[in-house]
Chain A
Amino acid sequence: MNSSKVAIKNSREKYPLRLNMYDRPPAQDVTLEEFETWAIDRLKVLSEIESSFVRNRTHDELKTVTTDQCRKYLPVDSNNAELQTREPQRKKDHVSHFILRLAFCRSEELRRRFVKAETTLFRVRYENSAPADREKFIEAHNVGGDTVDVQKDPALLKQLQKVAASAAHATLEKSYYKVPWTQVPDLVATRRVYLKGGFAYVPLSLQPNIIYQKFQQNLERALEQTAKALPRLDEDDRLVPILEHLSKGFVAGVSGEYRAGEGIDGEVTADMVDEIARKHFPMCMRSLHETLRADRHLKHAGRLQFTLFLKAMGVSVEEAIVFWRKGYGQSMTDDKFNKEYKYNIRHSYGLEGKRADYPAMNCQRIITQNGPGPGETHGCPFCHHSIDNLTSSLTSVYRITAQADLMEIQRAVKDGFYHVACTRVFEITHAERGVKKGEGLGAGESVAHPNKYVARSRELEKAAGMPSGAGDAMMVDEA
């Protein structure tokens, strides 16, 4: 409603705002060629954003990269620019967004990725906007939330001071906005706002989060509607092939996934797992494997993480069942195993239920999703174990004893660079194979997937010409 108010005010201008909420579809004609090239240009920007996530870039790095890409492929100038320049830019931005909506509404996975990338793009642009552009946007879309007069309410003031003291914005801020808490779930989740009676009190410095959230929620809803409408679009064969092509390009662009058989050959049998574990497993899997050996049991999340890892390592479903049956040993009756556990293993292999071929979890997933609760042992040891326990397993299991090495790993862990710590462990334990510091899994690649760790370790062993099963100087462990 509000945007129409603005539109009337500047009736000759189609795009009075630099930033677009994309709440109305474009109504202009575009040529087939524009249709494709504009969409591809936008896709280039979004792909770069996605790969920034995969590479763990900080927000500032991501912002620089994205700003560069936007300048190249999808510039949107502020209102200071000439009308003749900014109108076509804004039209291209508007149209390309809607084309990609058509391409990416098809599956939940695509929708999720598209929303994440688009919201990030919006955020970067918002941060780069002049204050005047921002204010205009907030006013036009009525998204800022209601201001609260905190000075009038001493009790509230006291609570807000407490939040300020517990959060990064240390001191009380100039103004606060009151919104229903569901509009800022991320601020609630991280306890960065005061919550009372279902309302969140958002400080000025965090106000943009209200807007990003609104943008994201709008887009999510719109994509679902598009998905429902798409089968009825009944488009001729001009657009559909282009759309197919676009969505494929996005998927292929970045992939942190790992498929079975990559880089290693031959099936791994249940009996081989112990030895491979001893010589080649990264710490997360080693820890699961040892817990299974010691307790004859793993909790559900650990089983899932481990089963998918074994699958990607080349263990067939038959062998996996043998492995787990032996792993549980006497702790469980055959009957119980067949009833409750076999199904889950087969499910992980895509043989039961919805028959999805689940990929093995990459490091990002292991670290960020579903961390271990009391009594659980899955997750990433560098992130989820205390420093003391981590250090003692580095020494006892991986035989890393040099103080300098241990210090270096601990420092990386403290700074939150878990993949760096893990990569360092790989380098140290594979020094005998000629892996040097900084080389990682080859050419400086750091560990981003436990299966890549194993594959590389086994590859190095093979290259050294050592027959599998022969005594190994790298890790002498009589466990």
Chain B
Amino acid sequence: MSAKDTECSPDVTLAFYRRLYPFKSIFTWLNHQNPPTKLFTHREFAFTLLGDVYLRYNSFNNADDLKREVCRLNPTRFEVGPVYSARPRDKKTMRAATFTPLLRELVFDIDMTDYDEVRTCCTGKGICSRCWAFIAAAVKILDRILREDFDFKHLLWVYSGRRGIHCWISDQSALALSDDSRRAIVHYIEVIKGGKEMTKKVNVRLVHRNGSVGGLHPMLADSLSYLRTVFGELILKDQDCFEENKGWETLLELLPNKKINEKLRKQWEADLFRASDLKWQDLISEVSALGKDSAEQNLMMAALEDVVLQYTYPRIDSEVSKHRNHLLKAPFCVHPATGRVCVPIDPARVSDFDPEKVPTVGQLLRELDGVAAQNGEPHHSDWTKTSLKPYVDMLDQHVAKLMKVVREQNRAEAERQF
């Protein structure tokens, strides 16, 4: 990547907003139909300007209005909030009690930093195609739960520009969810809990009085059967999480059987850097050696399942999803540090997604200059001639489905009245 690509000077972002940003698609995505409704006009937009100036409670009449203001302010990024009971820009003239958030897409945010304790390839802000496997697994699991268990249909997955992914759910039933219901979904999904000081972060089982533990909820059992394969490939092979001392010590801490732990500790200390998959094999043979269906064995089996969950189950930033009035960066913004565009991702092909291949704003503008040199006049739909096109098309296909729902509703309503 050349230095030019990550460059995000005001000139570059302005050119991006003017010539490339798909305002029309974003408008219909939020509005669900062509004539502007409250879904758009009462929607909050927040702008982050250069120098960390933060402007909240902006609202617009239509896509052109939004584009004009974005081009005037040239923000480093902008965020989308809820639909309020009135136009957000009129907030100051209202009584606080009458200005309330009503509707909002249900959103999820997965960030690679939450995986720092289970990934060995990068830390903090770093991300590589290897860590992306964690995100891919998380998307597979979340996408299935949200569609099958909750019956949501209109999910848009968007790369966050650096090290994470967002999910926007635009079903009408999702828009209308109360904060209580949002919290319930989060708790239903959330498995990894506890801070730095809590080693075992998966506590999803009922502990009976005699010390035995309960089974997994069907949702978790289904997730587990997929994650087992991820665990083998990603944790044992690729990340090799238990190769070094610190890694396998953590693993042993998660297991309840002191005797086995002692034995393995000795064995592994003698065989430094024994590969993770071999260590896992050692564990499995120890567990098989326990009496078949004995209480001890069942307890260990459950603990091993919990280990698989702890290393591979989605880690979501739960606060983002719980409240209607949480703001989230709009799709197609440019990440100021990487220069990459926050493009939609097809969940069916999320494993093939490579964050390093996402077009950067610099690259796109160069492509555009090439096109302009051929045709002369710059035009607002220039993005069709750049590598941004497949991503905008993806959003438009998503929007078409949303608009179809509204059209069918309107038709049914018209027939009813007729």
A binds B: yes
Asked whether A377 lies within 8 Å of B197 as measured between CB atoms, the reply is yes
Give the chain A neighbours of B113 by CB distance below 8 A.
Answer: 375
Cα–Cα distance between A376 and B319 once the two chains are bound (Å): 13
A166-B216, A386-B197 known; A198 and B319 CB under 8 Å?
no
Asked whether B199 lies within 8 Å of A388 as measured between CB atoms, the reply is yes
Give the chain A neighbours of B221 by CB distance below 8 A.
Answer: 162
Cα–Cα distance between A374 and B185 once the two chains are bound (Å): 20
Minimal beta-carbon separation of A220 from chain B (angstroms) = 9
Contact of B195 among A190, A194, A196, A384 (CB under 8 A): A384
Contact of A162 among B150, B204, B218, B315 (CB under 8 A): B218
Contact of A166 among B97, B117, B193, B217 (CB under 8 A): B217
Asked whether A386 lies within 8 Å of B206 as measured between CB atoms, the reply is no
Answer whether residue B378 sits at the interface, using C-beta atoms and an 8 A cutoff. Answer: no
| B-facing residues in A182-212 (Cβ within 8 Å) | 182, 185-186, 188-191, 194-199
Answer whether residue A31 sits at the interface, using C-beta atoms and an 8 A cutoff. Answer: no
Give the chain B neighbours of A389 by CB distance below 8 A.
Answer: 197-199
Residue of A nearest to B97 (CB): A227
| B-facing residues in A389-422 (Cβ within 8 Å) | 389-390
A166-B216, A370-B319 known; A181 and B197 CB under 8 Å?
no
Cα–Cα distance between A334 and B399 once the two chains are bound (Å): 45
Asked whether B214 lies within 8 Å of A165 as measured between CB atoms, the reply is yes
Chain B's interface size range is 35 or more
Answer whether residue B38 sits at the interface, using C-beta atoms and an 8 A cutoff. Answer: no
Asked whether B180 lies within 8 Å of A185 as measured between CB atoms, the reply is yes
The 0/1 profile, CB within 8 Å of A marked 1, for residues 182-194 of chain B is 0111111000111
Asked whether A373 lies within 8 Å of B184 as measured between CB atoms, the reply is no
Cα–Cα distance between A203 and B167 once the two chains are bound (Å): 32
A165-B214, A374-B201, A375-B196 known; A195 and B149 CB under 8 Å?
yes
A182-B177, A189-B188, A198-B150 known; A378 and B195 CB under 8 Å?
yes
The 0/1 profile, CB within 8 Å of A marked 1, for residues 130-173 of chain B is 00000000000000000011110000000000000000000001
Answer whether residue B256 sits at the interface, using C-beta atoms and an 8 A cutoff. Answer: no
Minimal beta-carbon separation of A229 from chain B (angstroms) = 13
Minimal beta-carbon separation of A249 from chain B (angstroms) = 23
Give the chain B neighbours of A199 by CB distance below 8 A.
Answer: 151
Asked whether A188 lies within 8 Å of B188 as measured between CB atoms, the reply is yes
Answer whether residue A322 sits at the interface, using C-beta atoms and an 8 A cutoff. Answer: no
A198-B173, A373-B318, A374-B192 known; A185 and B183 CB under 8 Å?
yes
Answer whether residue A128 sits at the interface, using C-beta atoms and an 8 A cutoff. Answer: no
Residue of A nearest to B318 (CB): A373
Cα–Cα distance between A377 and B197 once the two chains are bound (Å): 7
Answer whether residue A16 sits at the interface, using C-beta atoms and an 8 A cutoff. Answer: no
Cα–Cα distance between A2 and B114 once the two chains are bound (Å): 51
Number of A-B contacts (CB under 8 A): 123
Give the chain A neighbours of B151 by CB distance below 8 A.
Answer: 197-199
The 0/1 profile, CB within 8 Å of A marked 1, for residues 76-102 of chain B is 000000000000000000001100000
A194-B218, A340-B52 known; A377 and B183 CB under 8 Å?
no
Give the chain A neighbours of B220 by CB distance below 8 A.
Answer: 191
Asked whether A372 lies within 8 Å of B194 as measured between CB atoms, the reply is yes
Cα–Cα distance between A287 and B195 once the two chains are bound (Å): 12
Most A CB within 10 A of own CB, among B173, B196, B216: B196
Asked whether B206 lies within 8 Å of A159 as measured between CB atoms, the reply is no
Minimal beta-carbon separation of A110 from chain B (angstroms) = 13
Cα–Cα distance between A386 and B194 once the two chains are bound (Å): 9
Give the chain B neighbours of A167 by CB distance below 8 A.
Answer: 206, 214, 217
Asked whether A163 lies within 8 Å of B217 as measured between CB atoms, the reply is yes
Give the chain B neighbours of A188 by CB distance below 8 A.
Answer: 184-185, 187-188
Asked whether B177 lies within 8 Å of A386 as measured between CB atoms, the reply is no
Asked whether B215 lies within 8 Å of A165 as measured between CB atoms, the reply is yes
Cα–Cα distance between A385 and B201 once the two chains are bound (Å): 10
Answer whether residue A152 sits at the interface, using C-beta atoms and an 8 A cutoff. Answer: no
Asked whether B195 lies within 8 Å of A191 as measured between CB atoms, the reply is no
Asked whether A191 lies within 8 Å of B201 as measured between CB atoms, the reply is no
Answer whether residue A381 sits at the interface, using C-beta atoms and an 8 A cutoff. Answer: yes
Cα–Cα distance between A390 and B221 once the two chains are bound (Å): 31
| A-facing residues in B237-287 (Cβ within 8 Å) | 253
Asked whether A371 lies within 8 Å of B193 as measured between CB atoms, the reply is yes
| B-facing residues in A131-182 (Cβ within 8 Å) | 159, 162-163, 165-168, 181-182
Which A residues form the contact surface with B (CB < 8 A)? Answer: 159, 162-163, 165-168, 181-182, 185-186, 188-191, 194-199, 227, 287, 339-340, 354, 370-379, 381, 384-386, 388-390
Which 9 pairs between the two chains have the least Cβ-Cβ distance?
A372-B195, A198-B151, A185-B184, A189-B187, A385-B197, A165-B215, A189-B184, A195-B149, A376-B195
Would you list 7 pairs from A and B whose C-beta atoms are within 8 A, ordered by A residue? A167-B217, A194-B218, A195-B150, A374-B117, A377-B197, A386-B199, A389-B198
User: Could you list 12 further interchain pairs (A-B, Cβ under 8 angstroms) beyond the known A188-B187, A388-B253?
Assistant: A163-B218, A167-B217, A195-B150, A198-B151, A371-B195, A374-B115, A374-B194, A374-B315, A375-B116, A376-B195, A377-B197, A384-B194
